[in-house]
Structure 1
Amino acid sequence: MTDPCPTADSHARPAAAILAALDSSASGLTAADAAARLARHGPNSLPDEAPRPAILRFLGQFNNALIWFMLAGATAAALLSHYIDAGVIMAVVIVNAVVGFLQEGKAENALNAIRGMIAPHASVLRDGHRVSVGVADLVPGDVVLIEAGDRVPADLRLISARNLLIDEAILTGESVASSKATDPVAADAALGDRRPMAWSGTLVASGQGSGVVTATGPQTQIGQISTMLGEVQTLTTPLLRQINAFARRFTLFAFAGAALIFVFAVTLRGFSWEDALMAVVALAVGLVPEGLPAVITITLAIGVQRMASRRAVIRRLPAVETLGATSIICSDKTGTLTRNEMTVRRVVTADGVTMVQGAGYDPTGHGFAPDGITRDLLRAAIQCNDAELRPDGWKVEGDPMEGALIAAAIKAGLDPAAERGAGRLDAIPFDAEHRFMATLHALPEGPVLLVKGAPERLLTMSGDQAGASGPQLLDAAFWTDRIDEAAREGERVLAYAFKAMPQGTTGIGFDDVQGGLTFLGITGFIDPPRPEAVAAIAECHRAGIEVRMITGDHAETAAAIARQLGLARDPQVLTGQDLDRIPDAGFVKAVARTQVFARTSPEHKLRIVRALQSQGRVVAMTGDGVNDAPSLKQADVGIAMGIKGTEAAKEAAQIVLMDDNFASIVAAVHEGRTVHDNIRKVIGWTLPTNGGEALTVIMAILLNFALPMTPVQILWINLILASTLGLVLAFEPSEPGVMARKPRKAGAGLLTPFMLWRVCFVSVMFMAISLAVFFWALGQGREIEVARTMVVNTLVVMEIFYLFNIRYLHMTSFTLTGLKGTGPVLAAIAVVVAGQFAFTYLPVMNGIFGSRPLGLMDGVIIVTIGVLTLVVLEVEKHLLRGVFDDD
Structure 2
Amino acid sequence: MSARKFDIKGLTDLEVETSRKRYGSNTLTYKNENGFFDALKSLAKEPMVILLLVASSIYFMSGNVGDGVFLAVAIVLVASISLYQDSRSRKALDKLKALTQPNCNVIRNGEVIGIPSEQVVIGDSLMVEEGTLIPADGTIIHSNDFSVNESILTGESLAVFKDSKNDDNSIFSGTTVVSGLAIATVVAIGNNTELGKISKSLEAIQEEKTPLERQISNFVKKMSIWGVVVFFLVWAMNYNKSMDLMDSLLKALTIAMSILPEEIPVAFTTFMAVGTWRLMKMGVLVKQIKTVETLGSATVICADKTGTLTQNKMSLAKLFVLQSGVISDPKNEMGQAEKELITLAMWASEPIPFDPMEVALHNAYGQFIDSDERLNYQMVHEYPIGGKPPMMTHLFQNANGHRIIAAKGAPEAFFEISNLTTQEKSQIEETIKSLGKQGYRLLGVGQAHFMGMEFPKKQQEFKFDFKGIVAFYDPPKENISKVLTSFDKAGIDVKLVTGDNSETAIAIAKEIDFIGYERCMSGDELMQLNDVELREKVKTTQVYTRMFPDAKLRIINAIKANNEVVAMIGDGVNDGPALKASHFGIAMGKKGTEIAKQAASLILVEDDLSKLVDAIAIGRKIYTNLKKAIQYVISIHIPIILMVFIPLALGWLYPTIFSPSHVILLELIMGPTCSIIYENEPMEKNTMVQKPRPFTTTFFKFKELATSITQGLTIALVALLVYQYAVAEGLNESTTRTMVFIVLIAANIFLTLVNRSFYFSILTTLKYKNNLVPLIIGITIAIVVLLLYIPAFTRFFEFEMLTPKLLSISVLSGFGSVIWYELVKWGKRIS
TM-score, structure 1 as length reference: 0.62
Taking a change above 3 Å as real, the CA distance of residues 236 and 109 of structure 1, as seen in their structure-2 partners, is farther
* 1:826 shift after superposition: 0.7
- Aligned residue in 2 for 1:290: 262
Amino acid at match of 1:823: N
Q: 1:195 corresponds to which residue?
A: none
Which amino acid counterpart does residue 699 of structure 2 have in structure 1?
L
TM-superposed CA distance for 1:775, in Å, is 2.4
Q: Could you tell me which of 103, 121, 124 is aligned with 2:140?
A: 121
2:20 aligns with: none
Given the superposition, is the C-alpha separation of residues 77 and 541 from structure 1 closer, same or farther in structure 2, using an over 3 Å criterion?
A: farther
The superposition leaves residues 763-783 of structure 1 with CA deviations (integer Å, 9 ceiling, x where unpaired) of 111111112222223333332
Q: Would you say the 8 A contact 2:715–2:818 is kept in 1?
A: no
Corresponding position of 2:292: 320
1:630 is displaced (CA, Å) by: 4.8
- How much does 1:852 deviate? 2.0
- Partner SS for 1:730: coil
Matched, 1:797 2:746: yes
Q: 1:354 to 1:142 in 2, by over 3 A?
A: closer
> SS where residue 731 of structure 1 aligns?
coil
Alpha-carbon distance between aligned partners in 2 of 1:86 and 1:57, rounded to the nearest angstrom: 20
Counterpart residue number, 2:388: none
Q: 1:373 to 1:312 in 2, by over 3 A?
A: closer
Q: State the Cα distance separating 1:673 from its structure 2 match.
A: 0.4
Q: CA separation of 1:297/1:843 partners in 2, compared to 1, >3 Å: closer, same or farther?
A: same
Q: Secondary structure at the match of 2:762?
A: coil
Contact 1:291 1:722 in 2 (8 A): yes
Structure 1 residues without counterparts, runs of 5 or longer: 1-49, 126-135, 156-169, 172-198, 206-228, 356-369, 388-395, 410-415, 437-450, 460-473, 497-516
Distance of 1:403 and 1:746 partners within structure 2: 43
8 Å contact kept, 1:601–1:627: yes
Is the CA contact (8 Å cut-off) linking 2:298 and 2:566 kept in structure 1?
Answer: yes
Q: Which residue identity lines up with residue 796 of structure 1 in the other structure?
A: I
Is the 8 Å Cα contact of residues 154 and 200 (structure 1) preserved in structure 2? no
The Cα of 1:879 is off from its aligned counterpart by 3.3
Q: Alpha-carbon deviation of 1:643?
A: 1.7
Q: How does 1:478-877 map to 2 (within 5 A)?
A: 481-487=430-436, 491-493=440-442, 524-554=471-501, 557-565=504-512, 566-575=514-523, 578-579=526-527, 581-583=528-530, 594-598=541-545, 605=552, 608-705=555-652, 706=654, 707-724=656-673, 726-751=675-700, 755-815=704-764, 818=766, 822-877=770-825
Distance 1:522 1:317, change over 3 A: closer
Cα distance change of structure 1 residues 73 and 650 upon mapping to structure 2, 3 Å threshold: farther
* RMSD, matched Cα: 5.7
| Cα distance in 1 for residues equivalent to 2:72 and 2:749 | 27
What is the deviation of 1:831? 0.8
**Structure-1 separation of matches of 2:34 and 2:537:** 43
* Equivalence map 1:139-178=2 (5 Å): none
Corresponding residue of 1:74: 49
How many residue pairs get aligned? The number is 673
Amino acid at match of 1:487: G
Cα 1:767–1:300 shift into 2, 3 Å: same
In 1, distance between residues paired with 2:747 and 2:45? Answer: 26
Between the aligned partners of 1:100 and 1:585, the Cα distance in structure 2 is 45
Give the equivalent residue in structure 2 for 1:243.
Answer: 216
Task: Supply the AA of the counterpart residue of 1:865.
Answer: S
Q: Counterpart of 1:484 in structure 2: which amino acid?
A: K
- 1:247 maps to amino acid: V
- Give the distance between the partners of 2:162 and 2:645, measured in 1 at CA: 80
Match of 1:318, SS state, is helix
C-alpha distance in 2 between matches for 1:404 and 1:91:
58
Tell me which amino acid in the other structure corresponds to 1:203: L
State the partner residue of 1:306. 278
1:184-223 equivalences under 5 Å are: 200-203=178-181
Q: Does 1:277 align with 2:226?
A: no
Q: Structure 2 length normalisation: TM-score? A: 0.66
CA distance in 2, matches of 1:768, 1:663: 49
* Alpha-carbon distance, 1:758 to partner: 1.6
Q: Secondary structure at the match of 2:568?
A: strand
Question: What is the alpha-carbon distance in structure 2 between the residues aligned to residue 429 and residue 342 of structure 1?
Answer: 26
Shift of 1:747: 1.4
Percentage of matched positions with identical amino acids: 25
Measured in 2, the distance between the counterparts of 1:874 and 1:576 equals: 57
3-state SS of the aligned residue for 1:313? strand
- SS of 1:747's equivalent? coil
834-843 or 619-628, larger mean C-alpha shift: 619-628
CA contact (8 A) 2:521 2:541 kept: yes
Contact 1:319-1:655 within 8 A present in 2 as well: no
Report the CA distance between 1:93 and its aligned residue.
6.8
- Larger mean CA deviation between 312-321 and 610-619 belongs to 610-619
- The alpha-carbon deviation at position 536 of structure 1 amounts to 2.1
2:276/2:285 contact within 8 Å kept: yes
Per-residue deviation, residues 693-724 of structure 1 (Å, max 9, x unmatched) = 11122221232112333331121111123224
* Cα 1:322/1:604, change in 2 over 3 Å: same
C-alpha distance in 2 between matches for 1:659 and 1:596: 25
Give distance in 2, aligned partners of 1:723 and 1:91. 12
> CA shift at 1:760, angstroms?
1.3
Q: 1:241 to 1:606 in 2, by over 3 A?
A: farther
* AA in 1 matched with 2:140: H
Change in 2 beyond 3 A, CA 1:594/1:835: same
Distance 1:242 1:572 in 2: 40
> 1:479 Cα shift?
7.0
User: Which whole-Å deviations, capped at 9, do the CAs of 1:117-156 have from their partners, x for residues lacking one?
Assistant: 886225699xxxxxxxxxx99x999997689xx9x9699x
Deviation at 1:55, TM superposition (A): 8.2
2:232 is aligned with 1:255: no
* Structure-2 change in CA distance of 1:701 and 1:832 (3 Å): same
Q: 1:821 to 1:849 in 2, by over 3 A?
A: farther
Tell me how far 1:823 sits from its aligned partner: 1.2
Q: Which has the higher contact order (CA 8 A, sep 6+)?
A: 1
Q: 2:827 and 2:806 mapped to 1: Cα distance?
A: 32
